[in-house]
Structure 1
């Protein structure tokens, strides 16, 4: 707009100035058409009437400098537009510590948008060959997300990434979406370059994890309507998270029997942990219900969600409806009724928020959830212990403490030849007694270093205000009760990791579990 205004101003001033200057100059024609011609020549510094050095009327003085400036700007802008793509590639190649998101799916666009709030992000539609990733600066990137809708495209992106030579000392985190979690497990154990940390995940599995973290069952009768990929992931997550020996679920789906049979065959833990009753259509019954509507078809999900919300127990039932594109529409509907029992969740936003966090943050949240459960089991409450609040309400200092503890988990596992891998399976794992002792000592040393860095000192009694603690002493000087606290942290690691969606395996087992 400014450019257009400057062009018009330059033309008008040039015309007026030329008309005044040439009115008494018989050397040049000064018909209106001649004035326009001379005026246009000002843009290329080739107008004959203004070649003798003046003096000229002030409108012409201004125009003879403004018009070349406008021309120069136009040339520079045209060159910039012509070479914008190449310049963007050059900038991307020179970037470091950035994140690359591959894919033209809604999930990729949502994730890229969320990440841009706190990170440098390069978003490309496809990366099936290494040169595209080189152009995006993969050699110095921190993370790569492959989020195309098609699983083969994401696998091809990972293969391309494995062929790019790294120019940074840190390893590269690669996160690739696959529709089938078991395929992800097989690919994860394939064996990649040492500097590549490859994680294959299911978007539906990630979203199911987040939904259950936000709407965790607590005694309600559970109902799952629609066994889409999200519905199946939700069933597996319900079975894995179950606090009781058996989780009872009503599944409403015409093809539910075949899907449940497949889940039992593919996931041995599912049959032992989950008792499923399959019905073709959900008919609400009296009592406390927690209903998850999981259809991929959002119009159908919206219809079934509204129907269920209108018929479940009005005072005690809750209906959670999976949405992607229509999540905002669902929230508008909630504002006009059913707000006490109807909840819409945007799975793309939930999965994006989860993926935006590093593994450390998801583990830190799991550590805090475990701490909440343990302290509440001992009868503690927020009045006696201010840290017994949800993660989002924790002070930054306590969040950082949880992150520091989570960040050290991988290091401790390395000490005993183990590693953690993402998994939906509730697979058992137990450390050997000598491993527990070794890891407990490592945990105590980490805790002491963290406290001392925060200004804590040894004291006879714990004093939070003065930062004094009686356990700030070497392992050999601790009593048995104090040592057991550190051992308990180690013994809880398999459950904590399972809560965050990981399991422990021994290195060299190639996917086999060791007890």
Structure 2
């Protein structure tokens, strides 16, 4: 901006000096006319070094002398800047093709812009407005990208982007993570189970589904009377997430004129729902004493804000809380709360929640890779979910197991330091082998880390494993372990190069 202002000032200064200098130089000339329009014409010709009055070599008045050098310089800068702007998009495409480990955000929606702004601070982000064919994705550097987010408003456009991405050949070893938004959380669950080609890890998410999971996890309703106003996608996702997390049945009042049909459909499609949630449907919200949590879930944000304010004014003043779904008006709601307009009112910004959730998934990339490797190894040994409940997708893992994977991933760099190694970002396949003594040293370090983590969580030594009582036979010093138990830790070390390659890193020696 400052450069543009300076450029405009130089243009004006050049014109003024040229005009003043020409007026003085041609005041007594019989060869050249010197009316104001003639002087302006000669002045403008200075910008293209073609002004006839200054073609004889001078001498000239000092204003004209300065202007006849300054104006061509201004012209040259304008030509260069115009060329830069003209070819900027092409240069950006060439750079994108050569870029690696970047993130592509596809879509021109508010969700795409919000996500890109969250990611921009720590990652290289390339924006693509639309990609229903491979060409825009290739131009954005998808063959070497680390992740692709398809966040258009239309579900069909995002599915088309996933299909287009599946046709692009990868130029690197690490898999491509694709996260595509769908408006219906249940559709996302169905699409997620579809098989995709090797090298692609495709996840379908819903803004409302992500927000519903986070809201229920944060509130952890237990024994409260619950009201859900409006069975939008967010309302349905709330009910399902509530049912998934319940160990005992919960009473829920649904306020929606068409609620009976929606609740019946949820019960038919999800048998656990009818068991966990005892739902009564009413057409209009009527405040009742003792209601603790009221969720206002309308997609129409003005209606949601109105119903939220009305509910907050009538809900139990001592224990009631009203939570309102918002997207574009989330900032307005938060401003009202901050200014003390309603102390029983809270707002769920689905766009910000989903953006934070998706950006946090990047920081979990190593932990996810650790879990993927564990699942593959255990399934190769013939185990399944019935024999080992932890053999599920990352999103279905209990928080305790996710934290365990994060702790294991977070300790990798420390262990590598012990043997003079480090990890570096790399999407290229690169073989690496630890020396036998390095494997042994790192296996001991891994066992000590695991023991410390388990003991901090309350586990103790027991001759037989007992998850309920938190007893484990391996909670003892390395020297007391049998060879089979030691080999498990060695296998963790031997798998590190594969785990890191899966997450987009490789090991190098210092």
- For the superposition of Structure 1 and Structure 2, which TM-score range results when normalised by the shorter chain? 0.7 to 0.9
Q: Distance in 2 between matches of 1:54 and 1:485?
A: 104
1:252 counterpart = 2:214: no
The equivalences for 1:58-207 within 5 A come to 58-207=62-211
Instruction: State the secondary structure of the residue aligned to 2:448.
Output: coil
Cα distance change on mapping 1:447 and 1:98 into 2, 3 Å: closer
Partner of 1:352: 355
Partner of 1:472: 448
Q: Would you say the 8 A contact 1:471–1:482 is kept in 2? A: no
Cα distance change on mapping 1:76 and 1:485 into 2, 3 Å: farther
Partner of 1:381: none
The equivalences for 1:424-503 within 5 A come to 429-431=386-388, 472=448, 481-482=460-461, 488=467
1:45 counterpart = 2:7: no
**Deviation at residue 133 of structure 1 after TM alignment:** 0.9
**Deviation at residue 250 of structure 1 after TM alignment:** 1.7
Q: Distance in 2 between matches of 1:3 and 1:484?
A: 80
Partner of 1:330: 333
**Deviation at residue 4 of structure 1 after TM alignment:** 2.3
TM-score by length of 2: 0.74
Cα distance change on mapping 1:472 and 1:81 into 2, 3 Å: closer
Q: Distance in 1 between matches of 2:71 and 2:385?
A: 77
Q: Would you say the 8 A contact 1:249–1:275 is kept in 2? A: yes
Q: Distance in 1 between matches of 2:411 and 2:332?
A: 51
Partner of 2:300: 297
Instruction: State the secondary structure of the residue aligned to 2:284.
Output: coil
Q: Distance in 1 between matches of 2:467 and 2:367?
A: 14
Figure out how many residues of one structure are paired with residues of the other and give that number: 421
**Deviation at residue 449 of structure 1 after TM alignment:** 6.3
Partner of 2:373: 411
**Deviation at residue 7 of structure 1 after TM alignment:** 1.4
Partner of 1:318: 321
Cα distance change on mapping 1:481 and 1:330 into 2, 3 Å: closer
**Deviation at residue 238 of structure 1 after TM alignment:** 0.8
Cα distance change on mapping 1:350 and 1:473 into 2, 3 Å: closer
**Deviation at residue 92 of structure 1 after TM alignment:** 2.3
Cα distance change on mapping 1:473 and 1:155 into 2, 3 Å: closer
Q: Distance in 2 between matches of 1:471 and 1:261?
A: 51
CA distances 1:352-392 after superposition (whole Å, capped 9, x unpaired): 2112222664xxxxxxxxxxxxxxxxxxxxxxxxxxxxxxx
Q: Distance in 2 between matches of 1:116 and 1:148?
A: 18
**Deviation at residue 341 of structure 1 after TM alignment:** 1.0
**Deviation at residue 233 of structure 1 after TM alignment:** 0.2
Q: Distance in 1 between matches of 2:410 and 2:30?
A: 94
**Deviation at residue 217 of structure 1 after TM alignment:** 1.8
TM-score by length of 1: 0.73
Partner of 1:458: none
Listed as ranges, the gaps of 5+ residues in structure 2 are: 391-400, 419-443, 472-510
Q: Distance in 2 between matches of 1:336 and 1:95?
A: 46
Q: Distance in 1 between matches of 2:56 and 2:233?
A: 80
Q: Would you say the 8 A contact 1:360–1:406 is kept in 2? A: no
Higher alpha-carbon deviation: 166-175 or 312-321: 166-175
